[in-house]
Amino acid sequence: TGLITLDDGYANTGSCRSAITFIDGEQGILRYRGVPIEDLAERSSFIETAELLIFGELPDTEQRDDFRHLLTENSWLHRDMRDHFDAFPTNAHPMSILSAMISALQSHDLPEHHFTDENGFREAAASLLAKTRTIAAASYKSHIGQPIMYPRYDLPYAENFLHMMFSVPYRDYETTPEVAHALNMFLVLHADHEQNCSTSTVRMVASSRANLYASISSGVNALWGPLHGGANMGVIEMLEQIRDGSWTPRQYIDRVKDRRSGVKLMGFGHRVYRNFDPRARILKEAAHSMLDAMHITDPLLDIAREVEQAALSDDYFTSRRLYPNVDFYSGIILRAIGIPVDMFTVMFAIGRTPGWIAHWKEVSDNQRQRIYRPRQIYTGENLSEWRPRAER
């Protein structure tokens, strides 16, 4: 079988060719389909960004209106899906609900043949984007014991999510432009990030020709882990421990440096960025201006700055080129919006859905796509003798 080269964690393995997202980790550059992330974060809506990622270009007015219409039409869940919600215990983790519900959607939503033509795919993409948001908000409502809110057809994507999260019967939640802008920006910044763990998972599942929903629910599960999307919860938990006096920032950093503790500095470090993560730069600035505009003082923002300072002036982090990543400041923004911490990773999943869809499509459109099937270096017994149970 020839000699197999081991590449732990695929740090130096190109798994595919892709035309979706460009990252230059040395210079801190991120572009979706060539468009700089800074422009998209400031000027594009999340849905426009999703169209850019999934269909390859920014939509004109007609395309945008048409896609919005598809999202609106597909935003509500089939009645029968309610029973699935009711079957979860009230303290179920929202990521477990999200992945299970996306899997279940395959049975309730569109027949499989829909994915094979362009219009069917367009509808499936719109349906997934709309329903991921609806499921996320509904899982929160079930968790806090409030009735599930219907989506409103007159609201844009981010505002509609906030409505489903925070409105109650007979009292509609009123958002502010700052909050809607911040949520939109959060989603845009999470929309894709080339071959990260969850997207590679989606591509791997897709390479077996599995359907869109099955592939994306696998992506949700991969995102759940604390080294990936789960880090945004980890950051807030760390900052809260410091706020509550369990550690000073310096003590926390020392704890991280002590290998025996097994503690990592959450929201720090990245496989590709060896300099600043451009998303962290934007979010840090946004967290600051958003809290100012909303007249909120969040002690966690000051603590985050202090921890960042302490880390960036410490040889452990600088010699390893560890800088804040997207998760370091995003939680401050989500807190200011009123999103509870256990929903943070779900927020990441809503944001990442366009990227997952775009990558599923790229794999599925490639007629010559081989199934993903890495090799291994076997380290087990060479040959073991089978013995009857009495002799074991």
Please answer whether residues 207 and 220 qualify as being in contact, where contact means their C-beta atoms are separated by less than 8 angstroms.
no
Sequence length of the chain is: 392
Residues 6+ apart with CB under 8 A from 180: 156, 158, 159, 162
* Residues 122-151: x where in contact with ligand CMC by CB under 6 A, - otherwise, as a string: ------------------------------
Task: Report the candidate in 52, 49, 38 with the shortest Cα–Cα distance to residue 276.
Answer: 38
Does residue 265 belong to the site contacting ligand CMC (CB under 6 A)? yes
Part of the chain binding ligand CMC (CB under 6 A), chosen from 106-114, 132-140, 201-209, 317-325: 317-325
Nearest residue (beta carbon) to ligand CMC:
269
For ligand CMC, the closer CB: 135 or 322: 322
Among 43, 209, 250, 320, binds ligand CMC (CB under 6 A): 320
Part of the chain binding ligand CMC (CB under 6 A), chosen from 20-28, 47-55, 200-208, 321-329: 321-329
For ligand CMC, the closer CB: 122 or 228: 228
For ligand CMC, the closer CB: 207 or 325: 325
Q: Report the distance separating Cα 225 and Cα 198, nearest Å.
A: 10
Single-letter amino acid code for the residue at 385: E
Please answer whether residues 166 and 188 qualify as being in contact, where contact means their C-beta atoms are separated by less than 8 angstroms.
no
For ligand CMC, the closer CB: 150 or 276: 276
In the complex, what is the shortest distance from the CB of residue 197 to ligand CMC, in angstroms, rounded to a whole number?
7
Q: Report the distance separating Cα 52 and Cα 48, nearest Å.
A: 6
Does residue 326 belong to the site contacting ligand CMC (CB under 6 A)? yes
Part of the chain binding ligand CMC (CB under 6 A), chosen from 134-142, 324-332, 358-366, 380-388: 324-332
For ligand CMC, the closer CB: 28 or 229: 229
Single-letter amino acid code for the residue at 217: S
The full 3-state SS of 72-128, as one line of letters, equals HHCCCCCCCHHHHHHHCCCCCCHHHHHHHHHHHHHHHCCCHHHHHCHHHHHHHHHHH
Please confirm, yes or no, whether 254 is among the known catalytic residues. Answer: no
Among 181, 270, 284, 361, binds ligand CMC (CB under 6 A): 270
End-to-end Cα distance, the chain: 34
Q: Report the distance separating Cα 134 and Cα 130, nearest Å.
A: 6
Q: What is the DSSP string of 257-291?
A: HSGGG----TTB--SS-SS--HHHHHHHHHHHHHH
For ligand CMC, the closer CB: 126 or 236: 236
For ligand CMC, the closer CB: 41 or 326: 326
Please answer whether residues 120 and 141 qualify as being in contact, where contact means their C-beta atoms are separated by less than 8 angstroms.
no
For ligand CMC, the closer CB: 68 or 193: 193
In the complex, what is the shortest distance from the CB of residue 357 to ligand CMC, in angstroms, rounded to a whole number?
18
Of 270, 277, 298, 359, which residue is the catalytic one?
270
Among 3, 6, 9, 386, binds ligand CMC (CB under 6 A): 9
Residue 119 in tokens:
């219009």
In the complex, what is the shortest distance from the CB of residue 235 to ligand CMC, in angstroms, rounded to a whole number?
7
Residues 182 to 241 in contact with ligand CMC, rule: CB under 6 A: 196, 227-229, 231
Part of the chain binding ligand CMC (CB under 6 A), chosen from 25-33, 79-87, 123-131, 319-327: 319-327
> Residue ranges of the alpha helices (H) in the chain?
37-43, 46-55, 61-73, 81-87, 94-108, 118-144, 157-166, 177-190, 197-207, 212-223, 231-243, 249-257, 278-293, 299-312, 315-319, 326-337, 344-365
Residues 45 to 104 in contact with ligand CMC, rule: CB under 6 A: none
Does residue 349 belong to the site contacting ligand CMC (CB under 6 A)? no
Please confirm, yes or no, whether 277 is among the known catalytic residues. Answer: no
Catalytic residues: 270, 327
- Give the interface with ligand CMC as residue ranges (CB under 6 A): 9, 196, 227-229, 231, 256, 264-271, 320, 322, 325-327
